[in-house]
Amino acid sequence: MRGPGDLQGSYIAEQVASFLPMEADTVRAINFHTYDSLQLFYGVAAGDPLEYTLTSIWDKLATSSSFDQRTEMIQEFNRNNVWKKRGISRMHCVYDVTLRPTPGKVSILSDGSIVVEVGGIEIGQGLWTKVKQMVAFGLSAIKCDGAEDFLDKVRVVQADTLSLIQGGITGGSTTSESSCEAVRLSCEALVERLIPLKERLLMQTDSIRWEKLIQQAYLEAVNLSANSFFIPDSASTNYLNYGAAVTEVEVDLLTGQTTILRSDILYDCGQSLNPAVDLGQIEGAFVQGIGFFMLEEYTTNSDGLVDTEGTWTYKIPTIDTIPKQFNVEILNSGHNPKRVLSSKASGEPPLLLAASVHCATKAAIREARKQLHSWGCLEGSHSTFQLGVPATMPIVKELCGLDIVESYLQCKIGSN
C-alpha cells in the first residue's frame, strides 16, 4: 500500500553488494548513475543535469552523519565487545513518480469564506493542508486588506464522483501536488474575474477589504466559483526523486534484539510546499519501512490464511523500535518551472531508505559470525549468508550462531 514493488526491487538490487568481496558502500558508489546513463534509463524523467542531486546528497550525507569516522568507531567497538556487535549502512534511492490529471474547484461564499474541493483523498498525508495553503497563496494575488487571514477562511470539503466527476485515484505520491496545481488554476480564474472589480472600487476609496470586495461581487453577479482540470504536459509528467540514509544498529548476540542507534536522512523535496508535512512523510515512510524489514512477520495456517489477528502476534513499529537518534533534513534543490511551485513528492520514495536498517543489521551479524569463525565454532564462510525479511529477533539470533548454548559451550571446550 506504499511503494508496492519498488521497495522489494530496490532491496534486491542492494543484495548484490553483499555477495561481492568488497565493501557494500563501495559497490553502491561505483554503480551510481552518471547523468548520461540516468537519461538513457529514465528518458525525459531524468530532467535537466542540475536536477540530478543524488551525488551531492550522497557526499553531503557522508559529511553530516560522520559516516567514515563512525565506521572506524564501529570497527573498534566490535573488536572490544564479545556479546554485542554494531553495523552501519549508507543507502540511496532513485524513485520515478508520475503526475496525473486532477480536478479542482474553488468557491467563494458571500461572507468571504472559501470552500475547496479536490479529487484527492486526505488519508493523513497532509493533502488538505497543502491545498489550503495553495488556495491562500493563489487568492492573495488580489492584494486586498485582510488577505493575511486567508488561510483561516479556507475550508476543504470531501468531493464525490458527482461534484468532481474525474477525481481519479489517490496514490503514487503526487496527488497532493496535482491537487494543489488544480486549485491554483481555479484561483487564477477567480483572481482574473475579481481584479477589474477591485480596480474600479479603488477609484472610489483608498483600500478595500476582502469581505467588501466579495459582497460587491455578489451584487454584480460575478461568478465566484471556478472549476479546473490540471493536465500535466509531457515534459513534466514524470520526474525522479532522490534521497539517501545512513543507519547504525546494535545487535545483542544472545537475544537477537536489534537496536537502531541512529538514522540520518537527506531527501530532495525541491522547494517544499510544506516542510513540516514533508518531514512527517519522510519520517513516517522510513518507520513504516522499518516495520517491513525488521518486524512485521505474518504467519499462515495450513489453509494458507493469515493467522495473525493483532499486535500480540503481529509487531508494528513502536516508540522503542524507531531510531534512538533520528536526523532528517530536506534538501532545497532550487527553482524548477516544470514542478508545481518547484516542489517534489515525499510520500513513498523515503520508504526505500529503510533498507539501510536491514543492511546495517546484516553488517552487524557478519561481525558476529566473523568472531564465531575465529573461535572455530562456524563452518564455511562467515560473510555469505541470507538474512530474510523481516529480520526478526529469532532469525538474527540464529544467524549470530549463539542460538544453541550447548553448541557454543562444546565449541569453546573443544578449542580449549
Positions marked active-site: 348
Give CA–CA dist 73/32, Å, rounded: 26
Q: In sequence order, which residues have a C-beta less than 8 Å from that of residue 166 and are 6 or more positions away?
A: 101, 103, 119, 229
CA distances from 369 to 256, 329, 377 (A): 13, 35, 9
Burial (Cβ within 10 Å: 0-12, 13-18, ≥19) of residue 108 = buried
334: left (phi over 0), alpha (psi -120 to 50) or beta: left
CA distances from 373 to 76, 211, 252, 400, 415 (A): 18, 78, 18, 11, 12
Task: Dig out the grid coordinates for 336 from the structure.
Answer: 524548477
Give CA–CA dist 368/126, Å, rounded: 43
Task: Dig out the grid coordinates for 271 from the structure.
Answer: 522547494
Task: Dig out the grid coordinates for 262 from the structure.
Answer: 541512529
Q: In sequence order, which residues have a C-beta less than 8 Å from that of residue 113 and are 6 or more positions away?
A: 153, 154, 155
CB contact at 8 A, 292 and 390: yes
CB contact at 8 A, 54 and 244: yes
Of 9, 39, 13, the closest CA to residue 24 belongs to: 13
Query: Which amino acid is present at 383?
Result: S
Task: Give just the sign of the alpha carbon dihedral 264, 270, 272, 277.
Answer: negative
CA distances from 385 to 259, 360, 362, 400 (A): 21, 14, 9, 11
